[in-house]
Amino acid sequence: MIGQQTVSVMLYVVGMFPLILVFAFPVGMTVTVLIIASVIFTLFSVLWINYLISYNRLQPLINRIRRENYLVWIRITKDKLLTFQVVKKGVYGQTKGIKHGMKADVIDKGDFPVQCLNGNPAIIVYDKSSHNQNLDEAIGWKQLFKKHKITTGISAYRKAKKQGE
């Protein structure tokens, strides 16, 4: 698979190739055009990869953040879109960010911390919830539903209450 980094490197190599040819030929109009083409391709390769990183909001996965003040939200939106967002840490596990253009607070319960590949601390956040998501807990609920043949947490509570547990 050809990724964006491959395209960027290819453009860089194409940009540098005419610059190498400059030393093989005498200086003239052709050499000047090759130098200009080389500079344009080289700049375009750098701009291309930086544009894609910004457009796709991948800065939290590439750039390191200060652990003591910031955290990364691995956010799942209402539309089932996965985004990454750097947010400020507050007191008592509170994190402050922006969801759909509005200020939002999410409580980091601390029970399911995640770490990005670059070492940034993160939590999984769902737009319809006010606290971080615990995937171990979600798997536990799924197993509970299968075992006792129930569909919601309320029905699990009623069944346990009826059995005296």
Report the alpha-carbon distance of residue 63 to residue 82 in Å, rounded: 18
Instruction: Please write the tens of the pLDDT for every residue from 15-54.
Output: 777 777 776 767 777 777 878 888 888 888 888 888 888 8
> For residue 111, what are the contacts with CB-CB under 8 A and spacing of at least 6?
132, 134, 137
According to DSSP H, which parts of 23-152 are helical?
29-55, 59-62, 135-148
Q: What region, left, alpha or beta, does residue 35 occupy, with left being phi > 0 and alpha being psi -120 to 50 degrees?
A: alpha
Q: Where are the domains of the chain?
A: 4-56, 60-133
3-state secondary structure 12-32: HHHHHHHHHHHCCCCCCHHHH
Quote the CA–CA distance of 36 and 42 in Å, as a whole number: 10
Per-residue tens of pLDDT for the chain, all 165 residues: 466 777 777 888 887 777 777 767 677 777 778 788 888 888 888 888 888 888 888 888 888 888 888 999 888 888 888 889 888 888 877 788 777 777 777 887 778 888 988 889 998 888 777 767 766 666 666 676 777 777 776 777 777 777 776
Confidence (pLDDT) at 1? 46
Report how far Cα 34 is from the mean position of its chain's Cα atoms: 39
